[in-house]
Amino acid sequence: MVSSENVRRRTVLELAAASGISVLLAGCLGGGGYDEEVYEDETLVDDEPEYGGFLADVDYPGTVDWTSEGGEGGESDSTGDDGGARTVTVLVGTGSNAMRFGPAAIRLDRGTTVRWEWTGNGGPHDVVDTDGAFESGQTHREGHTFEHAFDETGTYTYICRPHETQGMKGVVDVV
C-alpha cells in the first residue's frame, strides 16, 4: 500500500523535474529576448515585411531602417573618403542568451556593406546566407568581423548554423 506522504513527495518531485525541463527547453529553444540596447536609438521601418515567416521564431521589435533616408546606419556607420558606400555593423551574439544577431532585421540601400562583429558571447557563431551568397566561418573570438557588400536589391536571409534552432536568424532587406 502506498502512503499519501509518498504520493505527495512523488508529485512534488515530478513537478520539480517538469519545471526544470521547461526552463532548460526554453533556454535551448531560444527563449532569450533581444538586446534592447541594440535598438535603443534606431528607427524602425513603417512597412514591416513578413519575410515569408523566416523570423517567426525570432524575438525582435522590427526591421531597423538603415537606408540613407531612414536612419543613421548603426553604431559603426561610415562612408568612404569619397562619400561612397556605407558600412553598417550587426552584432553577433547578443540578447539575453547571446543567441541573437543585433539587430536581427535591417533595411539598407543597395551598395551598403554589412560588417558582422562578434561579441564573444554565446559560444562559436557563424553567418551563413541561406541561399549560399556568403559564409563567414565559425568563431567565438570577440572583435572578429566578417563583411559582405549588398550590391543587388532583394531580401537576404541568414543564420548562425549552430544556433538556428534557437532563433539565431537575420535578414537584410536591400532597397
What pLDDT, in 10s, does the model give residues 75-103? 444 444 445 679 999 999 999 889 999 99
- From 22, 90, 103, 93, select the one nearest 59 (Cα to Cα): 103
Q: Are 77 and 87 in contact (CB under 8 A)?
A: yes
99-153 confidence digits (pLDDT tens): 999 999 999 999 999 999 999 999 999 999 999 999 999 999 999 999 999 999 9
The pLDDT value given to residue 85: 78
Query: Residue 58: is its pLDDT beyond 80?
Result: yes
Domain ranges of the chain: 1-30, 36-174
Q: Are 76 and 115 in contact (CB under 8 A)?
A: yes
DSSP string covering 27-57: HHTT-----HHHHTTPPBPSS---GGGTTTT
The pLDDT value given to residue 127: 98
The pLDDT value given to residue 34: 83
C-alpha–C-alpha distance, residues 110 and 72, integer Å: 15
Residue 103 DSSP symbol: S
| Amino acid residing at 36 | E
Q: Which fold has domain 36-174?
A: Immunoglobulin-like (2.60.40)
5-51 confidence digits (pLDDT tens): 444 544 444 444 443 333 333 333 444 588 899 999 999 999 999 99
